[in-house]
Protein backbone atom coordinates (compact mmCIF):
# COMPACT_ATOMS: atom_id res chain seq x y z
CA UNK A 1 0.00 0.00 0.00
CA UNK A 2 1.44 3.39 -0.95
CA UNK A 3 1.41 6.37 1.38
CA UNK A 4 -0.68 9.19 -0.11
CA UNK A 5 0.13 11.76 2.57
CA UNK A 6 3.22 13.32 4.08
CA UNK A 7 4.19 12.27 7.59
CA UNK A 8 2.61 15.39 9.13
CA UNK A 9 -0.36 15.36 6.69
CA UNK A 10 0.56 18.78 5.28
CA UNK A 11 0.23 18.59 1.49
CA UNK A 12 2.96 19.58 -0.96
CA UNK A 13 2.51 22.58 -3.23
CA UNK A 14 5.97 22.97 -4.73
CA UNK A 15 8.29 22.70 -7.67
CA UNK A 16 9.99 19.36 -8.13
CA UNK A 17 13.65 18.50 -8.52
CA UNK A 18 12.97 17.96 -12.23
CA UNK A 19 13.16 21.29 -14.06
CA UNK A 20 9.76 22.55 -15.20
CA UNK A 21 7.70 20.12 -13.14
CA UNK A 22 5.54 21.21 -10.21
CA UNK A 23 3.32 19.33 -7.77
CA UNK A 24 0.17 19.72 -5.75
CA UNK A 25 -0.05 16.37 -3.98
CA UNK A 26 -0.05 14.33 -0.77
CA UNK A 27 -3.38 15.64 0.45
CA UNK A 28 -4.98 12.18 0.66
CA UNK A 29 -7.94 13.67 -1.21
CA UNK A 30 -9.15 15.62 1.82
CA UNK A 31 -8.20 18.97 0.30
CA UNK A 32 -10.60 18.85 -2.67
CA UNK A 33 -12.58 21.78 -1.22
CA UNK A 34 -9.41 23.86 -1.51
CA UNK A 35 -8.94 23.17 -5.22
CA UNK A 36 -9.54 26.82 -6.24
CA UNK A 37 -6.91 28.03 -3.75
CA UNK A 38 -4.51 25.25 -4.74
CA UNK A 39 -4.90 26.32 -8.38
CA UNK A 40 -4.21 29.96 -7.49
CA UNK A 41 -1.19 29.00 -5.38
CA UNK A 42 0.23 26.72 -8.06
CA UNK A 43 -0.25 29.31 -10.81
CA UNK A 44 1.65 31.88 -8.75
CA UNK A 45 4.38 29.36 -7.88
CA UNK A 46 4.84 28.30 -11.51
CA UNK A 47 5.02 31.91 -12.75
CA UNK A 48 7.52 32.72 -9.98
CA UNK A 49 9.76 29.80 -10.98
CA UNK A 50 9.40 30.50 -14.72
CA UNK A 51 10.64 34.05 -14.10
CA UNK A 52 13.94 32.58 -12.88
CA UNK A 53 13.32 33.06 -9.15
CA UNK A 54 14.57 30.40 -6.75
CA UNK A 55 11.59 29.16 -4.73
CA UNK A 56 13.84 26.98 -2.56
CA UNK A 57 16.01 29.94 -1.50
CA UNK A 58 13.20 32.52 -1.36
CA UNK A 59 9.78 30.84 -1.14
CA UNK A 60 6.72 32.41 -2.70
CA UNK A 61 4.28 34.29 -0.47
CA UNK A 62 0.86 34.01 -2.10
CA UNK A 63 -1.69 36.75 -1.39
CA UNK A 64 -5.26 35.46 -1.04
CA UNK A 65 -7.20 38.65 -1.66
CA UNK A 66 -10.67 37.20 -1.00
CA UNK A 67 -9.78 36.33 2.58
CA UNK A 68 -7.07 38.96 3.18
CA UNK A 69 -4.43 36.37 4.02
CA UNK A 70 -0.91 35.53 2.85
CA UNK A 71 0.34 31.96 2.54
CA UNK A 72 4.07 31.30 2.85
CA UNK A 73 4.57 28.37 0.48
CA UNK A 74 7.64 27.24 2.47
CA UNK A 75 5.01 25.59 4.70
CA UNK A 76 4.15 23.26 1.80
CA UNK A 77 7.71 22.72 0.49
CA UNK A 78 9.09 19.30 -0.36
CA UNK A 79 12.21 20.40 1.57
CA UNK A 80 10.49 21.50 4.78
CA UNK A 81 11.03 19.80 8.11
CA UNK A 82 8.15 17.75 9.46
CA UNK A 83 5.88 19.98 11.57
CA UNK A 84 6.13 18.50 15.07
CA UNK A 85 3.13 20.65 16.12
CA UNK A 86 0.92 19.01 13.50
CA UNK A 87 -2.13 17.02 14.54
CA UNK A 88 -0.69 14.27 12.28
CA UNK A 89 -4.17 13.90 10.87
CA UNK A 90 -6.38 15.48 8.21
CA UNK A 91 -6.00 19.26 7.87
CA UNK A 92 -9.16 21.22 8.21
Q: Does pLDDT of 27 surpass 90?
A: no
pLDDT per residue as tens digits for the range 11-24? 999 999 898 999 99
Q: What is the pLDDT of residues 51-80, one digit of tens each?
A: 999 999 999 999 988 889 999 999 999 999
Q: What pTM, to 2 d.p., does this model score? A: 0.82
Contacts of 29 by beta carbon, 8 Å cutoff, 6+ apart: 4
Whole-angstrom distance, CA of residue 49 vs CA of residue 56: 10
Contact 10, 83 (CB under 8 A): yes
pLDDT at 4 over 50: yes
Amino acid sequence: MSNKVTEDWIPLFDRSCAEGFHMACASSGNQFENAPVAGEVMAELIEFCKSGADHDARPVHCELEDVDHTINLATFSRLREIDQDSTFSVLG
